[in-house]
């Protein structure tokens, strides 16, 4: 009996469209020969739609998105739209409405791939970024706008329930990994209220996971260690804003954000989870074919894994690993591979169909 995998596809803006096309191709190829039929629905959301109709995320489309098993998203944001309108109205709206409280961002370094680090070491960690609270919640106010007395307030909201569930998820994640190490990152020496709430739950829940080693790091120190000794990390737990910043840095040290995937997960499955590269819409290179679709393709693998298609996910991951090896070989011989978005997609898809060395 054939199963159906209903995917809502939101290519979005800029390079989002280009990389999502490759991700969807790879996903389908990885499922070839299985009993799964992919049924995708394209959603025309983002800057072009906004300019055309003024709509950002109409209710009926949100409802329709909810009827899917998972969401594949490219990138949101365009210089022609005031910053925040699409990011808040579309991307964060989806993350919040669909209760994507786990923003999971794995970082892995493939030896030989060009990196700004002299000694990258063995980098293989995952950031568990809280996805629905903190400074992203949108609370705040502006007083005396436009005057010399203007006061702009952005409020970070952290709830006991919100903190408890993300802390618990991070412990589960650490427990499932070989090193079983959890580093929680905050700024509790200054942000005492939010930091204290995280600390309480980390301390309490750590009792249930005696095998997990826990340490704490201030976020400023974490930015240093991500550069000087990234191999020390296994699972990093942090809030929404710190997680946003640290995962861009993590992407950079492992060879560029073009390789970094992410999953916005609603673990209870009440709503579909959403998979997207951590990079943005990169309007400066949109349409040039320079975008690396690897992060989007790796995000499709996270989607497959989340939906229970572990074999197909492994096929994609192995193909990416092989492609990384090819990059490393080219880099070592001094000839960096120059390929278009589509050529990288082709190369990875070829490796999915015919894994190297088999
Ligand atoms: C990301 C992005 C988003 C974020 C923006 C576009 C709202 O930077 O996914 O990391 O800050 O979460
Ligand atoms: Mn970001």
Residues 209-262: tens digit of each pLDDT: 999 999 999 999 999 999 999 999 999 999 999 999 999 999 999 988 888 999
Query: pLDDT digit string (tens) for 47-97?
Result: 999 999 999 999 999 999 999 999 999 999 999 999 999 999 999 999 999
**Ligand whose nearest atom lies closest to the CA of 241:** 1
Rounded to whole angstroms, how far apart are CA atoms 282 and 285?
6
Nearest-atom index, ligand 1, CA of 76: 6
Please choose, from the candidates 6, 31, 9, the residue with its C-alpha nearest in 3D space to the C-alpha of residue 315. 31
User: Does pLDDT of 184 surpass 80?
Assistant: yes
Cβ < 6 Å from ligand 1: which residues? 76-77, 87, 91-92, 244, 278, 280
Calpha distance 328→321 (Å, rounded)? 10
Q: How many CA atoms are closer than 13 Å to the CA of 52, on its beta-carbon side?
A: 6
The whole-number pLDDT of residue 355 equals 86
Distance from Cα 90 to the centre of ligand 1, integer Å: 11
φ/ψ of 36, rounded to 5, equals: -100, 130
Q: How many other CB atoms are there within 10 angstroms of residue 318's CB atom?
A: 17
The rounded distance, in Å, linking the Cα atoms of 92 and 133 is 11
Q: pLDDT band for position 333 (50/70/90)?
A: confident
Tens-digit pLDDT profile for residues 278-295: 999 999 999 999 999 999
Question: Poorest-confidence range of 208-217, 325-334, 343-352?
Answer: 325-334
Q: How confident is the model at residue 335 (pLDDT cuts 50, 70, 90)?
A: confident
What value, to the nearest 5°, has the Cα angle with vertex 86 and ends 191 and 297? 90
- Indicate if the pLDDT at residue 356 is higher than 80: no
CA distance 25 to 113: 24
Closest protein CA for atom 5 of ligand 1: 87
Mean pLDDT of the chain: 96
Distance (Å, whole) CA 304 – CA 345: 17
Output helix, strand, coil percentages for the chain, rounded to the nearest 5: 45, 20, 35
Please give the number of the atom of ligand 1 that sits closest to the Cα of 88: 7
Task: Catalogue the active-site residues.
Answer: 136, 187, 220, 244, 248
Cα–Cα distance measured from residue 122 to residue 108, given in angstroms and rounded to the nearest whole number: 8
Contact at 8 Å (CB) between 26 and 297?
yes
Ligand nearest to the CA of 295: 1
Residue 22, both tokens: 């490759």
Residue 358 has pLDDT above 70, yes or no: no
Q: How would DSSP label each residue in 43-86?
A: ---SHHHHHHHS-SS-HHHHHHHHTSSEEEEEE---TTS-TTHH
Token reading at 38 = 């992919």
> Model confidence at 2, in pLDDT bands (50, 70, 90)?
confident
Residue 357: pLDDT band (50, 70, 90) is: low
> Do the Cβ atoms of 216 and 109 come closer than 8 Å?
no
């Amino acid at each position: 009996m054939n199963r159906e995998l209903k995917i809502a596809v939101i290519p979005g803006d800029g390079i989002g469209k280009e990389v999502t096309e490759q991700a969807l191709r790879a996903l389908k190829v990885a499922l070839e020969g299985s009993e799964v039929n992919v049924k995708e629905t394209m959603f025309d959301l983002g800057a072009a739609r906004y300019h055309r109709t003024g709509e950002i995320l109409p209710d009926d489309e949100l409802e329709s998105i909810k009827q899917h098993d998972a969401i594949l998203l490219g990138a949101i944001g365009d210089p022609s739209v005031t910053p925040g309108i699409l990011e808040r109205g579309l991307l964060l709206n989806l993350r919040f409405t669909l209760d994507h409280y786990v923003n999971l961002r794995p970082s892995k370094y493939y030896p030989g791939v060009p990196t700004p680090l002299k000694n990258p070491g063995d980098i293989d960690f995952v950031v568990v970024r809280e996805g629905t609270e903190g400074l992203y919640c949108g609370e705040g106010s502006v007083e005396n706008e436009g005057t010399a007395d203007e006061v702009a307030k952005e409020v970070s909201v952290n709830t006991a329930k919100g903190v408890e569930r993300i802390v618990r998820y991070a412990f589960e994640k650490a427990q499932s990994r070989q090193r079983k190490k959890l580093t929680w990152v905050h700024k509790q020496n200054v942000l005492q209220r939010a930091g204290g709430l995280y600390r309480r739950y980390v301390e309490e829940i750590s009792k249930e996971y005696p095998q997990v080693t826990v340490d704490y790091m201030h976020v400023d120190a974490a930015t240093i260690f991500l550069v000087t000794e990234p191999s020390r990390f296994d699972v990093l737990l942090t809030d929404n804003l710190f997680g946003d910043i640290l995962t861009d840095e993590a992407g950079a040290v492992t060879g560029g954000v073009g390789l970094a995937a992410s999953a916005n997960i609603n673990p209870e499955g009440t709503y579909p989870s959403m998979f997207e590269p951590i990079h943005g819409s990169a309007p400066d290179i949109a349409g040039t074919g320079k975008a690396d679709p690897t992060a989007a393709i790796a995000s499709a693998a996270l989607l497959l894994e989340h939906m229970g298609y572990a074999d197909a996910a492994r096929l994609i991951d192995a193909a990416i690993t092989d492609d990384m090896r090819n990059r490393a070989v080219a880099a070592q011989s001094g000839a960096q591979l120059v390929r278009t978005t589509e050529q990288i997609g082709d190369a990875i898809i070829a490796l999915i169909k015919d894994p190297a060395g088999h």
